[in-house]
Amino acid sequence: MTIHREGYPTLAIVTITLGIINFAIWQLFPDNNVVQNIVLIISLILFFTLLQFFRNPVVKVSTNPNQVLAPCDGKVVVIEETIEDEYFKTPRRQVSIFMSPINVHVNRNPISGVVKFVKYHAGKYLVAWHPKSSTENERTTIVIRHENGVEILMRQIAGALARRICWYVKESQIVKQGDEFGFIKFGSRVDLFLPLDAKISVKINDVTKAGVTVIAELS
């Protein structure tokens, strides 16, 4: 278990801020151990909550060219046929995974292949499970083309708390199934757009683990 690199700046700022607050409390209430201890306990709870959010556990990925693996930890909240109107502009099978603040927020490649498309969109910060979050929130769209020609679209979506989407891939880059491609801070969501003939292996409310859970089987 390690701490993700995206967490270091946040944790440093929080540590300094909490240190200043506790120092001020000790100066203002030098003889009030109750107030000092309450503030210290709250500070520790906040710090360790953030620490667990930025955890980056080691994941053992079993690569399989016929499978689409989960791009993130979380819970399946949408499985439906829809029109993907940014890249494919045709019907696709959509699977959406909601990440709560307590989930690991590392995003991993669902398949191996070549990155064909990357685009960032500024936007709103609706709650991640809102139906319009996939089209109106801050988001990135990433498309990977498998060696067999199948293309999978991933969409990182910021939530009400998320204020930073990170992605580490670029167009024409070759990526490996299960490797890290991004990170989203705090509650958020990742949508997958799959071919209509993909056999979905999960159901609504299933819990997923990035790089481990099989989302679908490709034909």
Catalytic residues: 188
Q: Which residues contact 76 (CB under 8 A, 6 or more apart)?
A: 95, 96, 97, 202, 203, 204, 205, 206, 207, 208
The sheet with strand 165-167 has its strands ordered as 106-108, 180-184, 165-167
Positive/negative CA dihedral, 70, 71, 74, 80:
negative
Task: Name the DSSP letter for residue 211.
Answer: T
Collapsing DSSP to helix, strand or coil, 89 comes out as coil
Q: At what angle do helices 33-53 and 7-28 cross, to 10 degrees?
A: 180
What is the enclosing helix (H) or strand (E) of 9? helix 7-28
Contact (CB, 8 A) for 71 and 97: yes
DSSP helix/strand/coil, 17:
helix
- Please say whether the beta carbons of 195 and 93 come within 8 A: yes
Which pair of tokens denotes residue 6?
């995206």
